[in-house]
Chains A and B, each alone.
Chain A
Amino acid sequence: QVQVQQWGAGLLKPSETLSLTCAVYGGSFSGFYWSWVRQPPGKGLEWIGEINHGGSTNYNPSLKSRVTISVDTSKNQFSLSLKSVTAADTAVYYCAREDLVGATNAFDYWGQGTLVTVSS
């Protein structure tokens, strides 16, 4: 059974760097892409970016200049860094596994979510 657990700082000041880590237990880590998705309070879902075990990444163009996603295959972990945060970055951040389900790339396992609040 795949389990996805995430952690990181929940309160940041403007201009600081957001850092979150996601660990995967059970199942294969190397056979998948792993993503970060965020959700501002009361709003919809926004994809941030993805990484595979080899370190290949893709980012949402709207966040690309501030985002870095990295991987530690020895620990089956991947991490999100978002620099120069503002109040607009306040959201619940999720990590998730992507799978090719049929012919559709979809997210089948999710972390529990981390609320990150940016406030002075």
Chain B
Amino acid sequence: EIVMTQSPATLSVSPGERATLSCRASQSVSSNLAWYQQKPGQAPRLLIYGASTRATGIPARFSGSGSGTEFTLTISSLQSEDFAVYYCQQYNNWPKTFGQGTKLEIK
């Protein structure tokens, strides 16, 4: 199974600043990579699919990039509602696998 590794585990950023989250796959997943946001007590929400396509209703400050084994989620100007846990997930190979998550916290 493909192992997804996210870094850092915790990222402290001030509101209005840029946040960059990384996700690495143990083997190529092409562009079959999604990003999710999860807030406490809530289900995950799809942000990005196909490595770089924003899901419906996702603000433009969220962007995804990468292919193969290295991926990045960038939030250009952090809003208060963006502080949450972010997960990457590959769907190129069976079984689907998630990264362990990056907690984005207020600095």
Chain B associates with chain A: no
Contacts from B to A (Cβ < 8 Å): none
Contacts from A to B (Cβ < 8 Å): none
